[in-house]
Amino acid sequence: MWNVGREPGVDLNPGAAKAACGFDSHLRHHSRWTEDMHAKTEWWSTFFSGLVLDTRMSYYPEESTRRETDFLVKAFGPARPFQVLDVPCGTGRIALELAARGFEVVGADLTADFVEEARAKAGERRLEAVFETREMRDLPWDAEFDGSFCFGNSFGYLTDEGNFEFLKAVARALRPGGKFVLDAPLVTETLHDHLVPNSWHQIGEILMLRSGRYLPEEGRAETEYTLIQGDRTEKKVASYRVYPYRELTALLREAGFVRVEGVSSLTGEPFAWGSKGLYLIATR
């Protein structure tokens, strides 16, 4: 998923966006949310298709991948060999960078197109990495990994029960002392700056309108994406569970992690109210 507040491409103001796509009906009607979206608890099972798939395939610049990998390498520590689980792995951008640095990597993702892309890239780069098509809670491993990570704003898609099941599955897959690094940019303390009513972004040849709202009674943020390429337009809606920092760290401990630390950035600044992001390092 796109990291909230870290969208790719060029940010456009509404006037420039309308000029780029030739009409303003998308901006006028962006508030027409998909009917009963909040009741669709498995939105993620069909979200990654069409233009969303096209943007995701070329989303992150190489420098972002290198910086995120540097952060993970530091969090995991110097011990080698080191076996890592990436879930959900997407197209394997970070997993492959870790493999290039000598890590033994397994990636899992529900979207078959992403898994095929990751395998193809591994073959092109002659890297040893395994990629499997799996839903993020379907992790059959038992104490087989030294580390795991979940990046790209990929946590919080599920119900409370589902999110807890995912964390327990990761904890079960790790050996004692293993590290789990969770990129969680959407928590209560960061929500104000991220959940903007609407913003335009240019991603290659695709123009994207992102519109957000918060459902306080459910503790969830919803984002509607309108993607435009030529005369083709698609709409998708995503829903994220928004936890306060204290509740999320408690959830990790309940799932089986003994220590949880958080920072607000890849350079390690302390997390506080109004931070732009959150990275949690949990020890099994």
Angle subtended at Cα 276 by Cα 213 and Cα 44, rounded to the nearest 5 degrees: 45
Domain that holds residue 157: 62-183+245-283
Domains held by the chain: number: 2
| Same-domain pairing of 229 and 265 | no
What is the rounded CA–CA span in Å between residue 115 and residue 25? Answer: 36
What is the per-residue pLDDT across 260-270, written as a single tens digit (0 to 9) for each?
999 999 999 99
| 221 belongs to a structural domain | yes
262 neighbors 279 (Cβ within 8 angstroms): yes
| Same-domain pairing of 31 and 96 | no
What is the per-residue pLDDT across 102-159, written as a single tens digit (0 to 9) for each?
999 999 999 999 999 999 999 999 999 999 999 999 999 999 999 999 999 999 999 9
pLDDT score of 217 more than 50: yes
| 101 belongs to a structural domain | yes
Give the closest residue to 3 by CA, choosing from 214, 128, 150. Answer: 150
Residue 110 belongs to domain with CATH number: 3.40.50.150
- Share the mean pLDDT of the chain: 88
| 6 belongs to a structural domain | no
What is the per-residue pLDDT across 48-105, written as a single tens digit (0 to 9) for each?
999 988 887 666 788 999 999 999 999 999 888 799 999 999 999 999 999 999 999 9
| Same-domain pairing of 94 and 133 | yes
- Model pLDDT, residue 221: 94
In this prediction, residue 195 has a pLDDT band, given cuts at 50, 70 and 90, of confident
What is the H or E stretch that residue 177 is in? Answer: strand 174-183
Phi then psi for residue 44, to 5 deg, are -70, -15
Q: Are strands 174-183 and 145-150 parallel, antiparallel or unpaired?
A: parallel
| 44 belongs to a structural domain | no
| 109 belongs to a structural domain | yes
Going 181 to 186 to 188 to 193, the CA torsion angle's sign is positive
Cβ burial, residue 256 (10 Å; 0-12/13-18/19+): middle
pLDDT score of 14 more than 60: no
| Same-domain pairing of 104 and 130 | yes
| Same-domain pairing of 121 and 137 | yes
Tokens of 187: 């928590």
| Same-domain pairing of 262 and 141 | yes
| Same-domain pairing of 199 and 168 | no
- Model pLDDT, residue 181: 98
pLDDT score of 35 more than 90: no
pTM, entire model: 0.87
Give the pLDDT mean for 247-274: 97
| Same-domain pairing of 163 and 98 | yes
Give the pLDDT mean for 167-174: 98
What is the rounded CA–CA span in Å between residue 87 and residue 90? Answer: 8
pLDDT score of 16 more than 50: no
- Model pLDDT, residue 81: 77
CB environment 80-100: b (16+ within 10 A), e (fewer): eebbbbbbbbbbbbbbbbbbe
What residue type is 36 in one-letter code?
D
256 vs 199, which has greater pLDDT?
A: 256
Give the closest residue to 190 by CA, choosing from 271, 252, 250. Answer: 271
| 72 belongs to a structural domain | yes
| Same-domain pairing of 93 and 195 | no
* Range in 36-50, 164-178, 230-244 with the lowest mean pLDDT: 36-50
| 256 belongs to a structural domain | yes
pLDDT score of 27 more than 80: no
pLDDT score of 227 more than 60: yes
237 neighbors 225 (Cβ within 8 angstroms): yes
Percent with pLDDT over 90 in the chain: 74
Residues 6+ apart with CB under 8 A from 120: none
Tokens of 38: 């909040």
| Same-domain pairing of 204 and 252 | no
| Same-domain pairing of 77 and 126 | yes
- Model pLDDT, residue 29: 45
213 vs 31, which has greater pLDDT?
A: 213
| Same-domain pairing of 278 and 192 | no
- Model pLDDT, residue 13: 53
